[in-house]
A and B are shown apart, each in its own frame.
Chain A
Amino acid sequence: MSFTMAAIIFGMAAVTYIPRMLPFVLFKNKELPPFWQGILKNVPYATLGALIFPGIFLFHENIWFSVAGAVAAFLIAFTGANIILTVIGSIGILTILSVFS
């Protein structure tokens, strides 16, 4: 491995790990004001919204294939299926779609 590659890997590892680790080490006593606690409780739902859209429309070069996947995943999840079933079901439906199209 070249020095350059080693430096890149080390640098990337450091700047990725530090933001992951700092909050756990810095914020020991959880006595944030209620308003800020409320905001942090909101973060997971907002993050999921941002992680799903618009990425889900773009994962495949054919946007209609992506849209079909999105619809399939939402439909399966809304029936109350668990996560693994939602994942496998969506893959299955897209595979069938691409075989028959």
Chain B
Amino acid sequence: METTAVAQSEFKDGFTSGIGIAIGYFPAALTYGLLAKSAELTFLETMSLSIFVFAGAAQYIALSLIALGTGIFEIVLTTFILNIRHFLMSTALNEKAEEEEIWKKAAYAFGVTDETFSVAAMRNRTINSSFMAGLAIVSYLSWVISSGLGYLAGNALPQIVQESMGIALYAMFIGLLVPSLKKSEKAVLLAATAALLNCVFTFSEILSSGWSIILSTLIASLAVEAAVQLKPKGKIE
């Protein structure tokens, strides 16, 4: 019974931690639904993409490729390149995942997005399937339901509110990052290095956005770790 109570409180914690994501997904998925309609997808196709793929940026890009009449292989390959960054995120999350049956981990892995990863990775405790289920379910429900709303009634939300809500996910990322920035010089160094690299890669247009995020993250993580280990002990903490 005690383990059930623990699982319930972990689920609840995950669910609450995901409310910021749910708010942020609302305008993003609403826009996706609206765009899907204008790209002449059916309601079923629009919802299927959100239900089975659950990856915002990839769905947006797929819409524009579908509208252009791009082939299946190219669309799938683009999606793969864009989403391969989740491999890195899942690898990092796995380091703080509690030992559980493989099927449970494989199940919650479906819910790993940029946003759920960020929330789970910044948690000051280990993660487990109950926490991840709560986190993923609130995010997923918001994504799927808002996609449908966008398709059916996307124009109903006042334009001003829609535009302002574009800040939501970034504000969430900032809310996750800032407490660490205040505490740790190393976190500042990591975030700043990766941000700078990603700006260079993005504006020079030498990499697709998927690769750009992966490479910025990897180079920054490696370089900062090397710098910290080479420096005299205790200099950067």
Q: Please report which residues of chain A, range 5-24, place their CB below 8 angstroms from some CB of chain B when the two chains form the complex.
A: 5, 7-17, 19-24
Q: Is the pair A15, B76 in contact by a Cβ cutoff of 8 Å?
A: yes
Dominant SS at the A interface? helix
Distance in angstroms between the alpha carbons of A52 and B216 in the assembled complex = 12
Distance in angstroms between the alpha carbons of A90 and B228 in the assembled complex = 35
Residue of chain A at shortest CB distance from B215:
A50
Q: B151 within 8 Å of A by Cβ?
A: no
Q: Taking the nearest CB of chain B, how far is it from the CB of A43, in angstroms?
A: 4
Which residues of B sit under 8 angstroms from A66, Cβ to Cβ? 167
* 8 cross-chain pairs, A with B, having the tightest CB-CB distances, nearest first: A49-B191, A44-B121, A11-B76, A86-B175, A53-B195, A83-B175, A94-B164, A77-B178
Binding site for A on B (CB under 8 A): 19-20, 23-24, 41-42, 44-45, 48-49, 52-55, 58, 62, 66, 72, 75-77, 79-80, 83-95, 97, 102, 105-106, 109-110, 112, 114, 117-118, 121-122, 160-161, 163-168, 170-180, 182, 186-187, 190-199, 202-203, 212-213, 216-218, 220-222, 224-225, 228-229
Binding site for B on A (CB under 8 A): 1, 4-5, 7-17, 19-25, 27, 30, 32, 35, 37-56, 59-60, 65-66, 69-70, 72-74, 76-78, 81-92, 94-95, 98-99
